[in-house]
Structure 1
Amino acid sequence: MNIGELCNRETIIVLKDENIVEAAKLMRHYHVGDLIVVSKSEDVNTPIGIVTDRDIVMEVVANNADPKNVKVSEVMSQELVTASQEEGIHECIERMRTYGIRRLPVVDKEGCLAGILSVDDILEFLGEEVDTLIGLFYKEKRSEIDKMG
Structure 2
Amino acid sequence: MTLKTLCNREVLVAAKDDSILEAAKLMREYHAGDVIIVEERNGARYPVGIVTDRDIVIELIAKEIAIDSVTVGDLMCRELVLAREEDSLFDAIKLMRQKGIRRLPVVDLHGALAGIITADDLIELTTEQLRDIAGLIGREQALEKQIR
Classify the TM-score, shorter chain.
over 0.9
TM-score (norm 2): 0.97
- Where structure 2 has 5 or more consecutive residues not aligned to the other structure, the ranges are none
Q: What SS does the corresponding residue of 2:46 show, helix, strand or coil? A: strand
Which residue of structure 2 aligns with residue 41 of structure 1?
41
Q: Secondary structure at the match of 1:24?
A: helix
What's the C-alpha RMSD, in Å, of the aligned pairs?
Answer: 0.9
Tell me the TM-score normalised to structure 1 length: 0.96
Q: Which amino acid aligns with 1:133?
A: I
Cα deviation, residue 64, structure 1 = 0.5
Residue of structure 1 equivalent to 2:92? 92
Deviation for aligned residue 1:41: 2.2
Which one-letter code corresponds to 1:123 in the other structure?
I
Amino acid corresponding to residue 107 of structure 1 in structure 2? V
Which residue of the partner structure matches residue 66 of structure 2?
66
- Please say which of residues 27-36 and 100-109 is displaced more in the overlay: 27-36
d(CA) in 2 for partners of 1:147 and 1:109? 51
17-26 or 58-67, which moves further after superposition? 17-26
Unmatched segments (≥5 aa) in structure 1: none
- Does 79-88 or 37-46 show the bigger shift? 37-46
The residue matched to 1:104 in structure 2 has which SS? strand
- The superposition leaves residues 114-148 of structure 1 with CA deviations (integer Å, 9 ceiling, x where unpaired) of 00000111111111111111111111111111222
Aligned position for 2:126: 126
Q: How far off is 1:42 after superposition?
A: 4.0
- Over 3 Å off, 4+ runs: none
Q: Following the alignment from structure 1 to structure 2, what is the Cα–Cα distance between the partners of residues 29 and 146?
A: 52
Count residues in correspondence: 148
Identity of aligned residues (%): 45
CA deviation after TM superposition for structure 1 residue 69, in Å? 1.0
Secondary structure at the counterpart of residue 128 of structure 1:
helix
User: 1:113 maps to which residue?
Assistant: 113
Amino acid paired to 1:86: E
Aligned to 2:136: 136
SS at 2:73's partner residue?
helix
